[in-house]
Amino acid sequence: MLSESERKVLAFLSQRQRASIEEIAEGTGIDKNGVNSIVELLHSKGLIDISTTDKVRYELTEEGKERLERGLPEERLVQMGEVDMEVARKELGKDFDIAISWGKRKGMIQISQGKIIVVSSSNPSNEREELGRILNDPNYLPSDERTLLSRGLIRRKVEKEKKVSITEKGVEILKELMEKKVITNLTHEVILNGLENYVLREKNVEAEPPKFLLGKKHFFREFLNEIREVMLSLGFNEVYTGYIESEFYNFDVLFQPQDHPAREIHDSFTISGSAKVDPKLVEIVRDSHETMWRYKWSEAIASRLVLRSQATATTARTLASGIKLPARYFTIGKVFRPDAIDATHLLEFHQLDGFIVEKDFNFRKLLSLLKEIFNMIGIREVRFKPGYFPFTEPSVEIYGYISGIGWTEMAGAGLLRPEVIRISGLDEVGGAWGIGLDRIALTRFGLKDIRLLYTRDVEFLRNMTVRI
């Protein structure tokens, strides 16, 4: 059985030996995409033959468009009349050498005693005329293709063109169908007129409906938003700071000495320039470092710029900005560290960093809060192991159990040292933590390559969903 569109195409082909897709579309009123589909369908039924030939087309390059509009360099040169070489060079700029070369080759100019003398003001070739024809008709074949190509004025494109012809079987089927009317539905009128005068089109009841591929949010962004909602539900306020940070907030406020290995150039990305810091804060940090670490603290080092290597820099800025009790803050953002990119490492990754300062806060409450956060993001089993971080004491490393993987390090945390709390102007106990979100995302989505979090593979992204 054939559709009305298939019959139209066959009827058109029956009047011609061969036709292109464009010719069929124009003759039947069906768009090119529809004709392509119909042709493939008729071919699969053996009703038409398809042959493919190479069709050469030409199009103007950007330089060709410019020459068509402004004129060829040699034409612009002869329009200047007799002129000194240096004057012409200044006028034509980068086109000067081209104008001289083609002007002499075409016998349009001569050069004598540093002057350009016009021999003929007319161009013996017709490049601009050819360019105009190609612009208006992509099927036009230039008479001097070699010259236009060598000058970079046009480019040659070879396209595959389908030619279609009807087969003997197609002719027979068409003749049979033309004698009867094809109908989709069996009606009362059809039955009265006699079924022998109609052909009832078959229907494929197993055909799938068309797919509509709708846009969706990136799965990793949805995951980050889910983490954000968890923190907001626990009463935390979200804060933001920029990617470019001073060493003062990235390291010094966090009580990390200036000779610490993490501050070396191979462990952080440095940026030219420097930042100014509030003198009052400088004095507080200077006193803490020189008293506890016993070295000469340098404001010049603290003012250097880096790409923040830890989201705790946001915690430092928030503390320094002045907070009121009770204080619960968090940030989700990228941090940057030099590393070799592979399945488990990137130069940039996301951290969830947070802190809490409240009356009667203690280490046990911190651990309880961390267990609740991990439980809400899908990590049900958590263990704590003693650790060390310059800005917390006591400190712990947090491990979560991942089915099929085992115990995996997830975060670091601890009670903020008095030297860090001091910059906020408060004298209370506070806790802080930093959680690497990219690796947690890998476990959530069952991925083994961290680079897949940033892939551009549309099919992969379409099939990924956030599993809560």
265 compared with 126, residue with greater pLDDT: 126
Residue 404 pLDDT > 80: no
Residue 163: the pLDDT is 87
Rounded mean pLDDT, 137-161: 86
Residue 243 pLDDT > 90: yes
Q: How do 154-166 and 348-357 pair as beta strands?
A: unpaired
Residue 192 pLDDT > 90: no
Confidence of residue 392 (pLDDT cuts 50, 70, 90): very high
Mean pLDDT score of the chain = 87
Rounded mean pLDDT, 371-395: 91
For domain 219-463, give the CATH number.
3.30.930.10
Q: Which amino acid is at 271?
A: I
For domain 60-156, give the CATH number.
1.10.10
Q: What would the pLDDT profile of 291-300 be if each residue is shown by its tens digit?
A: 999 999 999 9
Map out the domains of the chain as residue ranges: 4-46+167-200, 60-156, 219-463
Give a three-class secondary structure readout of 86-113.
HHHHHHHHHHHHHHHHHHHHCCCEEEEC
Confidence of residue 127 (pLDDT cuts 50, 70, 90): confident
Neighbours of 19 (CB within 10 A): 23
**Coil/strand/helix, residue 342:** coil
Q: How do 181-183 and 198-200 pair as beta strands?
A: parallel
Residue 466: the pLDDT is 63
Q: What are the φ and ψ backbone dihedral angles of 113, each rounded to 5 degrees?
A: 50, 45
Q: Are 199 and 186 in contact (CB under 8 A)?
A: no
Q: Are 312 and 220 in contact (CB under 8 A)?
A: no
Confidence of residue 183 (pLDDT cuts 50, 70, 90): low
Q: How far apart are CA 93 and CA 152, in angstroms?
A: 18
pTM, two decimals, is: 0.56
H or E, element range at 166? strand 154-166
Same fold, 60-156 and 219-463: no
What's the sign of the alpha-carbon dihedral 343, 349, 350, 351?
positive
